[in-house]
Amino acid sequence: MRELRSQMYDSRTYSDENMLMNYQLLDPVRISKNLTYMWGKDSSRFPLLSLTEGQGSIKSLPTKKLNDTQYTWDVMGRMKHISKVIGLVHAENAKPGKNYQEFDVYFEDNWLIKDYGVMSPDGQWHGRIQGEGKKEGDRKWKYTFVGQHADPDKFCDPFNFTQGLAWVMTAPTVAASKSDGNRSNSMAPGTMTNQFGFHRFSKNIAGNIANKVTPIEFELEGGGTTNMWMPFEMKLFELDRRFYLEEDLWYSEYNRDDKGVIHLKDQRTGEPIPRGAGVKQICKSVGNFDTFSNLTLQKVDSALNVLYDGRVDHTPTEIVIYTGKGGKRMWHRSIEQDALAKQFYTPLGEHVISGGDYLTYGRYFNQYRTIDERLITVKEANIFDHGLIAEMQRANGEMYMGLPKNSYTMVFIDQSRTDDGGRNVELVAEEGREIITGVYKGLSPVPGSWGSFQNILSSRDDVAAYEVMSSQGVHMANPTTSFWMEMEL
């Protein structure tokens, strides 16, 4: 029996008959006309595109000017009640507040208000703010505190004045008569900024490849089969294009500096190339990022607590965890280990082992109901197993239990609806240039899979090109309700 031909690749600029000969696809004798997909179908590689583009969650935005693809949206957080300490004014005071004595403390701002109470970081000392802060320097304000307790020996532990620790205000207290008023702090909505970028893909052909027939029968994207090569190659081209775009939505990084300048330029024209923040950078920008070596249910609960604590209007109603095969298995083990630790041996065994003469072992957790009745669902996303980063990790040996490290990445996405009826996660694009396709028509016959174009020559060469340009970015209205967690080897 002849050895099977290995999967081959071709990086030449133009697809022509020589490429097909190199692939051995013009050989007239074949045993099977059905193409075997060694890596499986690509149906689950596009979770974000399916969530946004597939559900019509696309927001088209007009651009301010050429290459300025920034967009902003207003956000409202919670009122701030804390202030961070710099230290004691008199550091030699080992027992500040003893015998009802006042003492002075430096803080980073003047957020604290006179007459209000103040609680130490360790929660053991409750004082009163004896006046407004006095500015002593850049980001340095001096406040006077006094204890609110009855015990003359009670003092505030010096640990509480470690620089950077946060103190919190409590309710104001005043005398029954002759009291003076104080003030209040205020806040306004903030603004967040992101931007979308542009992508261009080209398929170049030469000669008469548009009319070439192969002995292999290819499945078409819309159903049916064909022996023509170009419809199949265009299907691969479109899959690969979406493959790159999907990965970009997850891992793209915002590329304006603090002065708003884009330093990435097109080498030929000198025009700036905008890049927006993807899901990973968006989550990291609000501190919703963590790593793990062995996933536990406590780790999952910790992330979920962050998500449900991050919204002040209403809690997320649809949290979905996207992960790869590795993350799905580790998720199951984390719940199973928690159940076993609670000695749920018998009920767990009854559900996992089934059958009669021949037993079947295996039923697995893909949902988790939290103590406050919120249901979390885990979805396997092929991109974490076979995406660009996973492909690189396989080649570099960054593997764990036979899977690339990226397979264990777990991304908690808030897919809830927003107050305006949209989705928390949307695809954004430039109005009028969401996607544009065109053909450079030379002497080469144009395949039918490129659509209907007039037979106008734009080049004297025996070549043609199919061009696709698109704009895209991912918009997360409330980034504080999503979370990125990845494995450390």
Give the pLDDT confidence of 198-243 residue by residue, as tens digits.
888 888 877 777 777 777 777 766 667 878 777 778 888 888 888 8
Average pLDDT over residues 316-339: 84
Average pLDDT over residues 384-405: 91
Last residue of a domain, one of 172, 202, 226: 172
Confidence category of residue 478, pLDDT binned at 50, 70, 90: confident
- Do 320 and 482 contact (CB within 8 A), yes or no? no
Angle between helices 297-309 and 325-341 (to 10 degrees): 100
d(CA 309, CA 298): 16
213 and 100 within one domain? no
402 and 326 within one domain? yes
Q: Which residues, in sequence order, are bridge partners of residue 466?
A: 203, 439
115 and 256 within one domain? no
331 and 223 within one domain? yes
| pLDDT for residue 289 is more than 90 | yes
Q: Which residue has the higher pLDDT, 464 or 88?
A: 88
Residue 249 lies in a domain: yes
| pLDDT for residue 338 is more than 80 | no
pLDDT of residue 187: 63
pLDDT of residue 237: 83
Last residue of a domain, one of 138, 172, 206: 172
Last residue of a domain, one of 143, 172, 201: 172
Among left, alpha and beta (phi > 0; psi -120 to 50; other), residue 356 is alpha
Residue 11 lies in a domain: no
d(CA 119, CA 96): 14
Domain residues for the domain of 339 are: 47-74+193-432+472-487
pLDDT of residue 360: 47
Q: Which residue has the higher pLDDT, 17 or 487?
A: 487
- Do 474 and 427 contact (CB within 8 A), yes or no? yes
Q: Which residues, in sequence order, are bridge partners of residue 178?
A: none
245 and 129 within one domain? no
Q: DSSP string spanning 413-447?
A: EE--B-TTSSBSEEEEEETT-SEEEEEE--SSPPP
Give percent above pLDDT 90 in the chain: 26
Residue 234 lies in a domain: yes
pLDDT of residue 405: 94
Instruction: Count up the domains in the chain and report the number.
Output: 2
Residue 137 lies in a domain: yes
Residue 99 lies in a domain: yes
212 and 165 within one domain? no
Residue 477 lies in a domain: yes
pLDDT of residue 173: 87
Q: Is 479 exposed, middle or buried (0-12, 13-18, 19+ CB in 10 A)?
A: buried
Confidence category of residue 402, pLDDT binned at 50, 70, 90: very high
pLDDT of residue 306: 83
243 and 311 within one domain? yes
| pLDDT for residue 4 is more than 60 | no
The pTM (predicted TM-score) of the whole model is: 0.72
Confidence category of residue 460, pLDDT binned at 50, 70, 90: low
User: How high does pLDDT run on average in the chain?
Assistant: 78
Average pLDDT over residues 342-368: 54
197 and 163 within one domain? no
- Do 195 and 131 contact (CB within 8 A), yes or no? no
| pLDDT for residue 30 is more than 50 | no
Residue 414's nearest CA partner among 323, 360, 477, 482 is 482
| pLDDT for residue 333 is more than 70 | yes
Average pLDDT over residues 49-56: 66
Length of the chain: 489
86 and 66 within one domain? no
Confidence category of residue 33, pLDDT binned at 50, 70, 90: very low
197 and 148 within one domain? no
Confidence category of residue 8, pLDDT binned at 50, 70, 90: low
Q: Between vectors from CA 200 to CA 195 and to CA 201, what angle results, nearest 5°?
A: 145
Calculate the CA 195 to chain-centre distance.
15
Q: Which residues, in sequence order, are bridge partners of residue 137?
A: 140
- Give pLDDT tens digits for 63-80: 655 556 787 776 666 677
226 and 132 within one domain? no
Calculate the CA 44 to chain-centre distance.
17
136 and 205 within one domain? no
- Give pLDDT tens digits for 186-198: 665 667 788 888 8
Confidence category of residue 348, pLDDT binned at 50, 70, 90: low
Residue 29 lies in a domain: no
pLDDT of residue 94: 93
d(CA 465, CA 438): 8
Average pLDDT over residues 337-346: 62
d(CA 321, CA 408): 11
Q: Which residue has the higher pLDDT, 205 or 430?
A: 430
Residue 93 lies in a domain: yes
